[in-house]
Structure 1
Amino acid sequence: MNTSPAPRIAIIGAGPGGLTCARILQRHGIDVTVHDRDTGPAARDQGGTLDLHAGNGQTALREAGLLEEFFRLARPEGQEMRQLDPAGTVLFHHVPDRGERVKPEIDRGRLRDLLLGSLQPGTVRWGHALRTVGGPAEGPRRLYFADGTTIEADLVVGADGAWSRVRRAVSPATPRYTGVSFLEAWFHDVETRHPGIAELVGQGSAAAADGDRGLFAQRSSGGHIRVYIIQRVPADWITAGGLTPGATGAIRALLLERYRHWSPRLRRLITDNDGPYVDRPVFALPVPHTWEHNPTVTLLGDAAHLMPPLGVGVNLAMLDACELALAVARHATIGEAVHAYEKTMLPRATETARLLDGAAAELLSTELPDFATAGDR
């Protein structure tokens, strides 16, 4: 950059996309702050495991100078995949080759720690929940936070996920329910407490579906497995049934009735979980989702192109982050950088979103290979 004074860049959201963008900017000597609503890096569970693909997520980590460290933390054995039918018969089983690095798994928490540890001290400002973006389109922008603080920025990057507050500054679009809902269940110390489930899932993931219902189980490090109970239901199916999300026993009874024709072995993924279920309805942004160029605000990841969870989200977010940071480093002005970034990102996101539009239903499909190739689409 040859701009003087140096641009003030504020990234909203300390997820993989926001942190990757910050890391690459700092590698190019560009100052940046990241603002996140969480009170700290350990404020909440970071979720399950992610597969980072060679053509996008790994590309971003290479540009961030973190690829080899990622491989040291990743679990290539997590690429194992099994597809079963509701009777428990294995229909498809992929065992990764020794040294296979196409899309190794890494826990979300470990990836976040890797990225956080690579940033300059004080880069992330915790407890900063964005309320709104103000100021003129040409800048500077004013960011108003829930704690009453206000800052100015020459570029605001919305990396704040599905329900982005930054998105409102450039687009009126809001996510829509896809008609498919996840119910998350956790299993801990599985080799000791749940050996049957550990054997069923293996070192990677296992999935089954019957057209209207599905189960997807995925191993994380440390002896943990997460199971996603997938259904074609209204978004409010729990409360519409007179239940609350914390009514574990009553929800379990309802699920057992809905999965009554499934094998007892698979039904244990519903009945043996440790703790309550977590309700996760699947939302997506309208397709295509674009906006008029704005020289001071842009979006990346789910804030820009929320899609069904079919293995592309974090990879696209990290590729977005990489390309945006490089554009800022290579262009004379912020406006030129944003234009160059969006010229590539928006068509790519639109093409992928069209491929995946309505594809949440594929999570319930009985067709092979289903989960086996969804991440490569």
Structure 2
Amino acid sequence: MGDTTLGDTKPRIAIVGGGVVSMILTFGLIQRKIPVRVYEQASGFREIGAGFAFSACARHCMDLLNPSVTEALKRCGAVPISDENEKDNYLRWIDGYNQHRLDDLSYQKPLAQIGGGGFRGCRRDQFLQELAKDLPPGVIEFSKRMDTLEHREDGSILLTFADGTTAEADAVIGCDGIKSNVRKSILGIENKASYAQYTHKVAYRGLVPMSAAIEVLGPWLANNFHHHIGPGSHVTHYPVANHQALNVVIFLSDPGPWSGDSSMVSEGSRDEVEAALHDWHPKVRNLVSLMPTKLSKWGLFDLGDYPVPTYYDRSVCLAGDAAHATSPHHGAGACLGLRNSVEVAFDTFDKMRRRRTQWLVNSSRRVCDLYHQREWADPERWTKADTCFEEIRDRSYKIWNFDVEGMVQQTLEKYEERLRGQPEIAEGFSEEDGYTL
């Protein structure tokens, strides 16, 4: 692990994959002076210039891991998803399809709003660039695609890369995404849980200059988070880059099999989106017209059909999309101490986090189905469709209002009890003992 080794009493950690989750985890390990090396298969940071938003709970987890992460988030232009006059960062759902006023064709019926409690939106590429500025030299190696992973007799792990080079570590964390090779090494290539499944949803995303977005949406709609929902589709947008750009994502239901290749991305076009939304509200259609003529069509895959049965094997662990294909970040507690405690740490993490993260995978599917329900197209069934927002509210609050400190404390207690070798813990710690969803 070279220049990142900080002492013989701490395990050498190898992280496979160099995305956002990997970088945040790396900063957490650095904060605790645990030697870490990141191996990323791309020649450089590969995140595209699309946006995403972090909840207050997620940002609190970042701060617990390393305050440098939240500082990078501030520097990259992260902004509230509501304008400065809003008392809360509301998530709003409005009719994007056909509930219009005859005397005001610009009107869109408000359907629901939920106080987000502090969401901040940013561009992925800018966030990664700011994180990279604070990384110590030599922590990350690019052009390193992991091919195999071998447990050695001395307890170490040998990583072999596609370029023929190797590396040793005491523990490995797989942050190598939805097509994770680390996951395959844990579960086996014949296990269906090693492979993500198509959810029959596709996404087209991009950034629109805020000035142009304001022209078609108006200043209030453009500067605040909104879901425009309707049958078979929804359009989401929120401000990023210090309110200089609007992040726009169009989601379409797709009943057929995935038509793209194994990369889960295929060539798409604005024409495809315009055809799918041809009878939607004029504001939605006008917003789509601002998108580039050529768009990437992202197949949405997850691990919901065949959930990963374990997030670890001995001193190898999965995190982020490699484990559950949804979550951008979680505060799971740092690996502590000596090599022989690594397996206990990973096992405790698995018991404390696996059920909750897999609930998130399935909940995300459910919410999208509610957005796309066919009842939105039938005026006689709007009342039924509208009842979905109570369920959406409950699911959202379960995520946003999570007791992070309680989870961390209970995780540490379980971990320390197991290290002390208490039989009732070491032999009887089941999933039912994990922290509440």
**Which of the five TM-score ranges fits, normalised by the shorter chain?**
0.7 to 0.9
Contact 1:61 1:67 in 2 (8 A): yes
Residue among 120, 125, 132 paired with 1:116: 132
Counterpart for residue 347 of structure 1: 355
Q: Alignment RMSD, CA only?
A: 3.3
Give, as a single letter, the amino acid of the residue that structure 2 aligns with 1:129: R
Give, as a single letter, the amino acid of the residue that structure 1 aligns with 2:53: L
Q: Distance in 1 between the 2:210 and 2:152 partners? A: 54
Give, as a single letter, the amino acid of the residue that structure 1 aligns with 2:30: Q
Secondary structure of the structure 1 residue equivalent to 2:67: coil
Residue among 235, 244, 249 paired with 1:228: 249
Give the superposition deviation at 1:105.
Answer: 2.4
Counterpart for residue 190 of structure 1: 210
Give the superposition deviation at 1:304.
Answer: 0.5
Residue among 42, 47, 51 paired with 2:50: 47
1:178 equivalenced with 2:199 (yes/no) = yes
Residue among 49, 64, 67 paired with 1:65: 67
Counterpart for residue 102 of structure 2: none
Note the alpha carbon deviations across 1:317-366, whole angstroms, 9 max, x for none: x21xx325x13359862222212222212232234345445443234245
Contact 1:204 1:218 in 2 (8 A): yes
Larger radius of gyration: 2
Counterpart for residue 161 of structure 1: 177
CA distance 1:279–1:68, shift in 2 (3 Å): closer
Contact 2:78 2:120 in 1 (8 A): yes
CA distance 1:49–1:373, shift in 2 (3 Å): farther
Q: Distance in 2 between the 1:376 and 1:109 partners? A: 28
Q: Distance in 2 between the 1:359 and 1:236 partners? A: 21
Contact 1:201 1:219 in 2 (8 A): no
Counterpart for residue 231 of structure 2: 211
1:83 equivalenced with 2:102 (yes/no) = no
CA distance 1:238–1:142, shift in 2 (3 Å): closer
Counterpart for residue 152 of structure 1: 168
Give, as a single letter, the amino acid of the residue that structure 1 aligns with 2:346: V
Calculate the TM-score normalised by the size of structure 2: 0.70
Q: How many residue pairs get matched? A: 352
Contact 1:130 1:144 in 2 (8 A): yes
Higher relative contact order (CA 8 A, sep 6+): 1
Note the alpha carbon deviations across 1:12-40, whole angstroms, 9 max, x for none: 12222211221111111111001112212
What percent identity do the matched residue pairs reach?
18
CA distance 1:74–1:272, shift in 2 (3 Å): closer
Q: Distance in 1 between the 2:130 and 2:26 partners? A: 13
Contact 1:190 1:198 in 2 (8 A): no
Structure 2: tracts of 5 or more residues without a match: 1-5, 83-88, 99-106, 377-385, 399-437
CA distance 1:44–1:159, shift in 2 (3 Å): closer
1:323 equivalenced with 2:332 (yes/no) = yes
Note the alpha carbon deviations across 1:213-246, whole angstroms, 9 max, x for none: 222223321622232222211354589xxxx955
Contact 1:185 1:227 in 2 (8 A): yes
Give, as a single letter, the amino acid of the residue that structure 2 aligns with 1:113: Q
CA distance 1:17–1:92, shift in 2 (3 Å): same
Q: Distance in 2 between the 1:304 and 1:196 partners? A: 40
Q: Distance in 2 between the 1:297 and 1:186 partners? A: 37
CA distance 1:247–1:76, shift in 2 (3 Å): closer
CA distance 1:192–1:345, shift in 2 (3 Å): closer
CA distance 1:276–1:375, shift in 2 (3 Å): farther
